[in-house]
Amino acid sequence: MFIKKVKLILQSEDSECGQACLAMIFNYYGYGISLPELRKNHSAQTGGTKVSYLMETCTDHGFRAITYSLTIEELRKLTLPCILHWNFSHFVVLTKINKNSVEINDPALGCMRIDQDKLKQHFTGVAVEIKKSESFSPVKPK
């Protein structure tokens, strides 16, 4: 069985972690958009990205975003990949949940596997699940 990977996209500015996470998930679903292209159409917010910005940007590109406040145990119920709020000032993409660890794509640090204790230290309890909406239309990368 072929398991599709979420391609890592690194942020190039401090305030664009949310945009980088969106670009990773959009590309995963076949909506080819680069971070510079997303940045051009949806500039990063000063002071960091807000969840409302993520949701609005998803809608603009044919996706549906749902925000959840949940425990670590409840993460298993979400469709992956999804976005996690991290350290109260950052976003990462959750790509896989294992028995004792999770795998994330951190747009500032890269791909990593972290154990449950580290997850408890960094995850704020807010997650954004992103799915294709009825208006979704795939876009080939430029």
CA-CA distances (angstroms) from residue 140 to 20, 29, 43? Answer: 18, 11, 22
Triad 83, 85, 86: Cα angle to 5°: 120
Residues 73, 81 contacting (CB under 8 angstroms): no
Would you give the DSSP letter of residue 66? E
Catalytic-labelled residue, pool 17, 21, 58, 82: 17
Q: Does the annotation count 21 as an active-site position?
A: no
Catalytic residues: 17
